[in-house]
Every structure is written in structure tokens, then in C-alpha cells.
Amino acid sequence: MHQLEISDLITAVEPRSGRRLPVRRAEVIQQLLESGDERAARIVAELPTDQDGALDPHAVDRLLISVHTELQRLSEELRIGERLVHLLGPLFTAIRSTTGQPGPYRLVDVGCGLGYLVRWLAATNALGADVELVGVDLDATLVGEADRLARAEGLDCRFVHGNAFDLPEAATVYVSTGVLHHFRGAALAEFFQAQAASPAHAFCHFDIAATRLAPIGAWVFHHARMRHPLGRPRRRRLRAARTQRRDTAARRRRTRHPTAAVRAARLGEPVLHHVAAGHRSAPAPGSAAPPGDGTGRTPTGRPGAPGRGHRMTSATLLALLGLIDASFSGFRAHAGRDARIRKHRATARAALRGLAVGAVLLLAPALTAAIVLLTASDRAGTFDTLAAGGLGYLLPLALYTAVVLVSLAAYFALPFRASTLAVVIGLGPLTLLRPLAIAAACLGALINGGGAPALLVGTIAGAAVLCVEPVVHRRWYHHVQ
């Protein structure tokens, strides 16, 4: 039994007219329970209905737009636009030279959802002015939102509600991202039959490859990057991915590709690939002016306590790390909430909001350190203890930061496949590991002789840092922009 997708069950349209049909909540819950997916059934049970028990279409629409906006974040992070241009650029060059036609050519994105790919291509003009960009989706709400977003940014592309294979004008190339895995059995065969019957020159479908890494990659991506449980893979879905791997292998053996002038080739990423048919720190614990003698020796000579210069450096570095982390938290709070293509300013504003919230929250550990010092009977000794703790706190965070920087560099500098891997085994898990990094920092503070004062300040600092993202998210980005 294959895994049912909630998003596929909570909307229904009349295939010919595209007219929306009522969906009974009880029936969806029943289907999910029969497939053994209790968690999905609980999610659907929370959706509102009318008096007849049909799901409230407005609530369903809001949910779908919200989830697809978050899904777009994965497309952005995986640089889907650039990946597809890597393939589509040469494809259109070949079509231009083999057909000898002057154009215009038409790229149709089947099941475009919010139309990220089409809007990105329009914003970058990556395929050339002679390629008309069209996004098509059976879901009127998603395609309507895609159209609204494109108009808001003045992008030269259009969106059509309906079946991509029933368009009045022929497509030159069909493309899809994240669509194929929604089809199984007869529905998949039907999809390919409709495609084969079209006069298009090429088809290029990009989806999650059922590799061994896929379930892990999907889990990390969704838990690190998605807020709504609708978008998260459930355990059964991971099992289904394994089953799908076997099914896909068998299907590939069976598939006979129709011949055509130009046929897309495989890219072959480890986690994502396209199936060509027919051819995703911490702050300063605070420090007051050290009572050292300026010689670099610690006044009390406590083991692990750094000299004056080092104390200040540790404190400054911790404060800097905390503020940088806060900017990234602001960035993450905004990510997945804004589906526009050109949003550098909005992203920068989010990072600044994170920085501002971080600066305020980090006053808590600084004040705590000051109070601990001012109320201590042995201020010099307490200062040394805090300084030693600060250094011990810094070291694990420095290591964490180094790994983040290497992952970021790999993400930006390496080619697509390696860059995806940098996200899947680097940036994604590192985001999830932030609380652990802070726990390691607290342990470091203890081990280096920081004692209870440093543990207290470090814990408050860690909590402050971890609070930045939820605070910024709630204050400014609770709703889709």
C-alpha cells in the first residue's frame, strides 16, 4: 500500500472542467486511517468543515499556499532554477538548431504549484527572450497565487489553470519539478501517455530520486526547514520511499521512451535528480572590566582562567558569534514565508530584525554575569571563573562555526551535486544541531573551570540565542508574506 499524501486528498477537482469538488473530511480521515497513517489523520481532523462535513475550501487553500511557500524554500536552497537551466539551456539551443524555426518556443511547467521555476526563469531571463514561459496546474488556488506573485514582480510569464496536456497551444518542452512522485500505477501510465501524445520536442521531469540517501535527506530537509507537519515526511513515508525505490527501478526497466528530435538526459544527483521520460553560537556570557594586573597572568592563578587579553577576546568573540547567529536566525524566520523571487531587501531586513532581537535578548546573559559579579564576595575569583567558563564555552562554538563556514563555502562554491550534499549533510543537520552545540558549549564552560556561575550565564545565553528565531518569526513572519 503506497503512502497517501495529505495534499492530494484534501482537494478534488472535476478533471475536465477543473471545477472544485467538495471533500468530506470524514472520508479523508477514513482513507488515512485505513492506510495506517494516524498522524496524517489527526492533521486532517484539525481542519475546519461546513455543516455537511465538507472541508472548508478557504482553510484548505490557506494551508496549501502556506505549505507550498515553505516548499519553495527547498527549491531555492537546492537551486532548482540553476539546475534546470543547466539542462534546459543546451536543450533549447539544440531545438533552435535542429528545428530551424525562429520561435517563439514554449516551456510548459506541468503542475507548477506556486510557479517558482517559471517565475525564476522569467526573472533571470535565463532561457532567452524567444522562450515563452507558462506554468499550468490543476489547482486553481496555487495557480492563482503564482499569477499574483508574477504580476506583483512584473514578470514576463503566465499561469494557466487546467491540465497541462490539454492546452490549446502546443508546448515545445514540458518540464516538471516534484510532481512525478504524486503518481503511481495507472495514474503514472496515464501521465506518460498524455505526454507521449503531445507534439512537444522534449520532456524533463525533476523529482526526488529514490536513492538510499533520499529518506535521510528528506527527513533532514523537512525537519530543519519546514514548520508545518503537512510537509514533513512521516515514518511510513520513509518506508514508502524505500518501496518506491524498488518500484522506480522496475518501472525504469519497463519504460520504453518514444523517439523525438531532442530528448533530455539525466543529471543524476545523489538525492534529487530529474527523471527524463522520453529523453533541499552563542553570545557573550558578559564580562565586566577585569581586575587583572595587565601582565597576562591571572590574578588568582586559577587553572583554565585566561589572561586579561584573552578574556576580552573570548568575550568579544562570543558576543560577535551571538549576534551573527541572531542575524542568521532572522534570515531563517523569514525563509519559507515569502514566495517572491526578488527579495534581497526583505531578506536583509529579516537578518537585521534577527540582529536587533538578538542584541536585546543577549542583554540577559550580560546582566546575569554582571549581577553574579556584583554580588560575589570574591569578585576577582568569580571574574576568573567566569572568564575560564567563557573560554570553555567558546571552543565548541568555534568548532561548530568552522563547520558551518566550511558547509556554506561548499554550498556556494561547489557544483550542484556536491552543493546539495553540503546542504544535506552540512547546513541542514547543523541547523538541527544548534541546541546540541549550545549544550556542548555549556559542558565546555564547566570542564574549563567555569563552575556554576559560567553554567548559569552560558545557559541563559544559549536560551537567548535559541529564542531569536521563534521571536522574529512570531513577531513578523507568522503569516505568508
Ligand X SMILES: C[S@@+](CC[C@H](N)C(=O)[O-])C[C@H]1O[C@@H](n2cnc3c(N)ncnc32)[C@H](O)[C@@H]1O
Catalog residues that contact ligand X under the rule CB under 6 A.
68, 71, 75, 110-113, 116, 136-139, 142, 163-165, 177-179, 182
**In this structure, what are the phi and psi dihedrals at residue 54, rounded to the nearest 5 degrees?**
-85, 140
Question: Cβ closer to ligand X: 164 or 369?
Answer: 164
**Nearest distance, CB of residue 238 and ligand X, angstroms:** 18
Q: Which is nearer to ligand X, 163 or 347 (CB)?
A: 163
**Percent helix, percent strand, percent coil in the chain, to nearest 5:** 60, 10, 30
CB-based closest residue to ligand X: 111
What are the cell numbers at 374?
A: 556584583
191/476 with CB nearer ligand X: 191
- The least CB distance from residue 18 to ligand X, in Å, is 9
Q: Using CA atoms, how far apart are residues 380 and 288, in angstroms rounded to an integer?
A: 11
- The three three-digit cell numbers of residue 335, written as one number: 525563509
Terminal Cα-to-Cα distance of the chain (whole angstroms): 38
State which residue, 71 or 315, has the beta carbon closest to ligand X.
71
CA 348 to chain centre: 18
- Please, what is the minimum distance in Å from the beta carbon of residue 194 to ligand X? 7
**Smaller CB distance to ligand X: residue 144 or 307?**
144
Nearest to ligand X of 26, 197 (CB atom): 197
Q: How far is the CB of 126 from ligand X (least distance, A)?
A: 17
Please give the Cα distance from 165 to 178 (Å, whole number): 17
In the complex, the smallest distance separating the C-beta of residue 166 from ligand X, rounded to whole angstroms, is 8
Q: CA-CA distance, 30 to 36, in Å (whole number)?
A: 10
Q: Distance (Å, rounded) from C-alpha 350 to C-alpha 232?
A: 25
Query: In angstroms, what is the minimal distance from the CB of 260 to ligand X?
Result: 19
Dihedral angle computed from the Cα positions of residues 8, 11, 15 and 19, in that order, rounded to the nearest 10 degrees: -170
Query: Where does 211-360 show beta strands of DSSP type E?
Result: 272-275
Residue type, 368: T
